[in-house]
Structure 1
């Protein structure tokens, strides 16, 4: 009765994003934007971070979960909610269910889900099911379970109200930082960039919306390169577990339409150093999926000179071991750079 895998065939329009914004304003305060002079000097740009890592569940996903679940009908609430997640979407659904008076939740995660995210899900007391090695396999198991149970299935990145919720980030950015030249957005399944792109397409089309993926899982970039959609794309080992796997049809279509202007692909070693830099210099804990925008700025540095750019730092649910590796790599590079400067001849 409550089952719905993909409620519509198109992403939300501006009216839905504005309605999601109205819903969320009563629940979530806008996340801050911050700039860091060190990075601005390095790039010759004005760079702003949108701190979605400071959301109550540690990622932007709470926006979409609350926007969607606040609209559940009484019979859907009674049947419960089922979703599949690499971790952050499941945490957002669990948080929203608790805030909205105890809606029953079942979350399917792949066996490869990050242990810290699994522990956080367990702490919420949701029904947790492990299925398959990839997000796509967990998703298939979750859909079958929801159909059998008659429960409401919440798609992580192709439910219009979920995507409308993510799109509220764009409305906050436009209010705080008008006239941006570009917004850098992490891309996994594509719900975040789909919502942001829809809002900017309608209200500020001059701003370039640029997706960022890692070389281990470049599904959207590969889809655009090859002219075919990779919805189930095997990912290599990656620091950005939340971006691993295929991309959704909505993000692909928006890129073909020009609402998503470009997709950058970054190296894993640059991403590791970006995680360390954020912790050591910006004093921010940001998971790999959220730090890809910083890696992209570094790898394409000269192109940003004179521009005003926002980077969505999408989450903070970082494994301690990766944080330590990132800090070690960044501090090693900083030491190398200092040594190189000390050896440089006077006047060089």
Structure 2
């Protein structure tokens, strides 16, 4: 391998090289998602890798091509996520010393997991850019071999093995929808897919807050930055090699908003019973967000990672219940007198709606001094039950406001 683009032959060689050391993950047709979209929707479950992300493929392909002298020197990478664990895990398997530079605010659980794979973790800087710069300094100072997360032909070729597996399992696919961060995954997959099936369309997907590759490829100047659920593809500076491959091989790049990413994560839990991080659900988010663009097609997408904080996942699932109308927060204005709350709760009971939490607001309210604002968080079997409840409360002369996530 050189710094030139990886070829299809490089990707096939990578597939042979890593076979048996990474999981050949399932590629399955989702009957339910297919019905929802009115298309044939196939899912590649890369969240089922040992480290729960596709990054193992590129990392292992890179490590296996090091010389004995390079392996002795050890490798270094900058990452706070899936790339760190992939390099650490396979480095330990191969007996290669691994150093990972992570930003100082990296959650402790990620540091512990990476150290658990045998890596030496260095915490440096406030963000990825700081950690990356320090890793390059250590590369020069200590003689380590740097393992780039995406802008390396060996990394790209390893990722491309997913494209081979997808088309082996579902040769009739006519479209692939692939998340884009730095661009390594889609560069490899597009290279493989277009070689196997030149007429196949490849669609890239970025988080709406991080349209970095779209800006480059389409000459746009959209703002980059924000606190996205899809932190795995929240890349401000995509690869130099990957951008050239994407310009040539990717048919279009779509952006997905945060609500669509949350919906996709929750949908995969509910329908496929699988846990996927925000970046891993970005492809499905694009499909569900604009189903008319995929109707009648045979579409494959990659669930490229499953490393999501459990507390964050719980928040996403509860917020999905709010969006679909099963959980609601109502502000009910009432006279501050005995029996008012009992009258309200009686209506909840009659409508079959469960009260989760209540709060009285007597002072911090614009209501008259004789009135109170009763805030009620509640849950129901379906959205219709909440709607019936609101109508019953209003018919009983209570003024009701409903909080939303928008």
Name the TM-score, length of structure 2 as normaliser: 0.77
2:133 to 131, 140, 148: 140
2:24 to 20, 24, 30: 30
Aligned-residue CA RMSD (Å): 2.2
Return the structure number with greater strand share. Answer: 2
Alignment map for 1:81-96 (pairs within 5 Å): 81-96=75-90
Q: How far has the Cα of 1:29 moved from its partner?
A: 3.6
Q: How far has the Cα of 1:8 moved from its partner?
A: 4.1
1:253 to 238, 244, 260: 244
Distance 1:234 1:127 in 2: 32
Give the corresponding residue for 2:182: 189
Deviations 1:239-274 (A, max 9, x none): 1111112211222212322x0111111001221122
Distance 1:62 1:17 in 2: 14
Deviations 1:171-223 (A, max 9, x none): 10111011211111111111111111111222212111111111121111122
Give the corresponding residue for 1:292: 282
Distance 1:184 1:111 in 2: 33
Is 1:224 matched with 2:268? no
Q: How far has the Cα of 1:292 moved from its partner?
A: 0.7
Give the corresponding residue for 1:72: 66
Structure 1 stretches of at least 4 aligned residues deviating more than 4 Å after TM superposition:
340-344
Alignment map for 1:168-187 (pairs within 5 Å): 168-187=161-180
Structure 1: give runs of 5+ residues left out of the alignment. 1-6
SS of 1:281's equivalent in the other structure is helix
Give yes or no for contact 1:280–1:327 (8 Å, CA) kept in 2. Answer: no
Distance 1:235 1:66 in 2: 31
Structure with greater contact order relative to length (CA < 8 Å, sep ≥ 6): 1
Distance 1:203 1:96 in 2: 29
Give yes or no for contact 2:211–2:224 (8 Å, CA) kept in 1. Answer: no
Give the corresponding residue for 2:267: 277
Distance 2:165 2:385 in 1: 41
Cα distance change, pair 107–342 in 1 and its aligned pair in 2 (3 A): closer
SS of 2:272's equivalent in the other structure is coil
Give yes or no for contact 1:208–1:260 (8 Å, CA) kept in 2. Answer: yes
2:10 to 16, 24, 27: 16
Give yes or no for contact 2:23–2:49 (8 Å, CA) kept in 1. Answer: no
Distance 2:246 2:188 in 1: 12
Give yes or no for contact 2:77–2:148 (8 Å, CA) kept in 1. Answer: yes
Greater displacement, 106-115 / 318-327: 106-115
Give yes or no for contact 1:166–1:191 (8 Å, CA) kept in 2. Answer: yes
SS of 1:271's equivalent in the other structure is helix
Cα distance change, pair 211–86 in 1 and its aligned pair in 2 (3 A): farther
Greater displacement, 211-220 / 245-254: 245-254
Q: How far has the Cα of 1:283 moved from its partner?
A: 0.6
Give the corresponding residue for 1:56: 50
Distance 1:8 1:57 in 2: 28
Distance 1:280 1:196 in 2: 28
1:43 to 34, 37, 40: 37
Alignment map for 1:142-157 (pairs within 5 Å): 142-157=135-150
Give yes or no for contact 1:179–1:207 (8 Å, CA) kept in 2. Answer: no
SS of 1:157's equivalent in the other structure is coil
Give the corresponding residue for 2:312: 322
Distance 1:124 1:296 in 2: 34
